[in-house]
Structure 1
Amino acid sequence: MSIVIAVILLMSLFAVEVVYFKLADQFNIIDKPNHRSSHTYVTIRGGGIIFPIGAILFFFCFGFQYPFFIAGLFAIAFISFLDDIHTLNNKVRLSVHLLSVLLLFYQWDLFEYPWYWIIIALIFVIGTINAYNFMDGINGITGSYSFLAIIMLFYINSSVTPFTSSSLLIAVGLSLIVFNFFNFRNKAKCFAGDVGSISIAFIVIFLIGQLILKTSNFNYILLLLVYGLDAVVTIGFRVLRKENIFEAHRSHFYQYLSNELKWPHLYVSILYFVVQAIINFLLIFVIKESLSLCLGLIVLSAIVFLATRFLVEGRSKLLSKA
């Protein structure tokens, strides 16, 4: 993608986002704070619609690449946007999610592999989508964390192992720049909404899946280690407290930092960005294809994260049901 085309695409995405804000304001697509929220003011919901739009623009402008992935992305983004506007029946929503994931698998040629790989991939994809959605609770965290993932994937694609279209990475990266311009603020202009968090999760999963299938190197799951740790550890604590893990909550570590300790949202988002950036550096330049080093980093990170949570939040809060 040339610089001129990239600039035109960036300006187009800005224009689309501004138009969406006007429509969202007119049709009352807003996020009102409640007892689970980490914000205190009414904000436009669904600004993350720019992520699938960026990918779809890539599809039409760069040779109609990855049609099944784009079809799955469109379906999951559309149903998520409808869910942002009006809560849908879970069976309808989950059916579309499953269809989208199957289209993703078809784009990966995953059905050529033994059946158990499909089960493993299904668990990974569904788990990552839900983790992304749960982690999207404060200003800047989804946009900055995802932008870091795209930057690292672009570096790998350019300098380590070509595995996908660089134009797709650039288009998604530009959509994240637009979103972060409006969201990475003390008082955000918009929130991603389900359409944003679920769509960007779907995109990042597709790219990481391409990379893993190309290299047969599963260590690249470390690109999502920080989100994974917070999601998995939080579920573990909720199970120990005998809570319903499917109910909305404010039990993630980032939520404790922002809601209980009153850290500014952007500080917390930057913390997650920096820690993941360090992990990415270790992955690319130290761990590489070493499975033992990868497992060692996962175990060490889990120990440090658990110790930090016990130190900061306390044993009683983490293990005792309120």
Structure 2
Amino acid sequence: MIPALLGLPFLSFLLCLLVIRLGVKDAPDGGRKTQTAPVPTAGGAAIALSVILGLFLVGVLPVTSQNGLPALLLFVFASVIIGFFDDFIGLNPKLKLLLLALVSLLAAAFGPRLGYFHLPFGPSEGYALPVWLSVAGVGLWLFVMANATNFMDGSNGLAMGSATLMLIALSILLNWLALAGPGTGLERAMSDLTALVAAATLGFLAWNVAGRLFVGDTGSLGMGALLGAAGLVVACRLTVWEPVILMLPFLVDVFMTLIWRARAGRHLLEAHRDHAYQLFLRAGWPHWKVALLWAAMTLVSGAGLLALGPLFGAEVIFVLLALGMGLWVWQRATLGRQLAAKGL
């Protein structure tokens, strides 16, 4: 496993160079996209191919019908394929959302089952979920994470850099759960997979941080699907709040922005530059500084989960959620108003 983790960044780096040479580019649109010239895209294809080659080095994952892994892997693969077609031929936004909703529900129906829902101050055993509610809730979680990562992919290094940190934290947590036992092998398999994807993404980031290659929907949808799938495995062993805590830097910005746009009467499916990270870019912040800020928030969430979670449980989410929402509102009330006054 260690040789694969050390070699994948270099392999991914070289495959990203091949993707750049293929000449598939993302053109500026004068709106949401911030680049001034066409930039090579679909770097997610290089990440995916690197991971597939890495799996051959470490051995086949324990795919059995008992642990639900096939459904999760098919969900991630389907998300990558949907993103690939969107990158290369373009998909109608509504069709893309419909396809993602369909594969999310299928993964929820045939994948690991979430049997209980826990409230931070509720009974320790949680509340039993009927099958239909479990499928609906899991499907919604998978759908949200795939799209949330895609929404956050608008600044060099931000989405994939933060997602890599999330994958590392998930790999550590899943490894702990695998060692704690008992399990079906799903925790170990997902720990290995998240570690491999994190290693492969490092090679891509060497290009992406410099603005020389975009991950495209191939990568952002695939990465979001993997984050959702790995988070589901954690939720099945612990509670739903552990993965939510880890992914707050994405979820807070996405949902707060959607709520703000809905209150302002703006179209929710329309491309825009209203996310918190986009406000920083509109104010003149360089991409690397915005990416570094989100990486710092991801580290805080990860540290809160891994260090404070075992001590205080899921209640730590209230502190981190209040902090994240407070920062979002403060930025909107200060920087957002300044940009509006300047017409930016």
Q: Same fold (TM over 0.5)?
A: yes
Partner of 2:29: 34
d(CA) in 2 for partners of 1:315, 1:254: 15
Partner of 1:262: 284
Q: Give, in angstroms, the shift of residue 57 of structure 1.
A: 3.6
Q: Give, in angstroms, the shift of residue 236 of structure 1.
A: 1.2
d(CA) in 1 for partners of 2:177, 2:112: 23
Q: TM-score, normalised by structure 1?
A: 0.87
Partner of 1:280: 302
Matching of residues 104-183 of structure 1 within 5 Å: 104-106=107-109, 108-110=111-113, 114-159=131-176, 162=179, 163-165=187-189, 166-183=191-208
Matching of residues 9-48 of structure 1 within 5 Å: 9-23=8-22, 25=23, 29-36=24-31, 37-48=33-44
Maintained 8 Å contact 2:12/2:46: yes
d(CA) in 1 for partners of 2:93, 2:301: 36
Partner of 1:271: 293
Give the total of aligned pairs. 312
Q: Give, in angstroms, the shift of residue 310 of structure 1.
A: 0.8
Partner of 1:87: 90
Structure 1 residues 274-314: Cα deviation after superposition (integer angstroms, max 9, x where no partner): 02211221222223353433224313431232123212222
Maintained 8 Å contact 1:10/1:174: yes
Maintained 8 Å contact 2:276/2:331: no
Structure 1 residues 71-127: Cα deviation after superposition (integer angstroms, max 9, x where no partner): 222222122111112222456534532343244325632287621122222222222
Gaps of 5+ in 1: none
Maintained 8 Å contact 2:105/2:135: no
Judged with a 3 Å threshold, the aligned counterparts in structure 2 of structure 1 residues 60 and 70 are, in CA distance, closer, same or farther, namely: farther
Maintained 8 Å contact 1:143/1:184: no
Judged with a 3 Å threshold, the aligned counterparts in structure 2 of structure 1 residues 96 and 305 are, in CA distance, closer, same or farther, namely: closer
Identity across the alignment (%): 22
d(CA) in 2 for partners of 1:14, 1:246: 33
Q: Give, in angstroms, the shift of residue 16 of structure 1.
A: 2.6
Q: 2:99 is matched with which residue: 85, 96, 101? A: 96
Judged with a 3 Å threshold, the aligned counterparts in structure 2 of structure 1 residues 237 and 315 are, in CA distance, closer, same or farther, namely: farther
d(CA) in 1 for partners of 2:315, 2:232: 21
After the TM superposition, which of the residue ranges 157-166 and 68-77 deviates more from structure 2? 157-166
Give the CA RMSD over aligned residues: 2.6
d(CA) in 1 for partners of 2:238, 2:266: 40
Judged with a 3 Å threshold, the aligned counterparts in structure 2 of structure 1 residues 161 and 307 are, in CA distance, closer, same or farther, namely: farther
Partner of 1:215: 238
d(CA) in 2 for partners of 1:291, 1:67: 29
d(CA) in 2 for partners of 1:155, 1:258: 33
| Amino acid paired to 1:40 | T
Maintained 8 Å contact 1:48/1:197: yes
Partner of 2:334: 311
Maintained 8 Å contact 1:72/1:104: yes
| Amino acid paired to 1:147 | T
Gaps of 5+ in 2: 64-68, 116-129, 180-186
d(CA) in 1 for partners of 2:198, 2:5: 10
d(CA) in 1 for partners of 2:235, 2:14: 35
Judged with a 3 Å threshold, the aligned counterparts in structure 2 of structure 1 residues 118 and 293 are, in CA distance, closer, same or farther, namely: same
1:244 equivalent to 2:228? Answer no
Q: Give, in angstroms, the shift of residue 248 of structure 1.
A: 0.5
1:232 equivalent to 2:235? Answer no
d(CA) in 2 for partners of 1:118, 1:140: 33
Partner of 2:183: none
List 4+ stretches of structure 1 deviating above 6 A: none
Structure 1 residues 100-158: Cα deviation after superposition (integer angstroms, max 9, x where no partner): 32443256322876211222222222222222111111111112111110121122234
Judged with a 3 Å threshold, the aligned counterparts in structure 2 of structure 1 residues 171 and 297 are, in CA distance, closer, same or farther, namely: closer
Q: Give, in angstroms, the shift of residue 316 of structure 1.
A: 9.2
Judged with a 3 Å threshold, the aligned counterparts in structure 2 of structure 1 residues 236 and 58 are, in CA distance, closer, same or farther, namely: same
> What secondary structure sits across from 1:290 in the alignment?
helix
Matching of residues 53-92 of structure 1 within 5 Å: 53-61=49-57, 62-64=59-61, 65=63, 66-90=69-93, 92=95
Q: TM-score, normalised by structure 2?
A: 0.81
1:2 equivalent to 2:2? Answer yes
Maintained 8 Å contact 1:48/1:196: yes
d(CA) in 2 for partners of 1:173, 1:42: 27
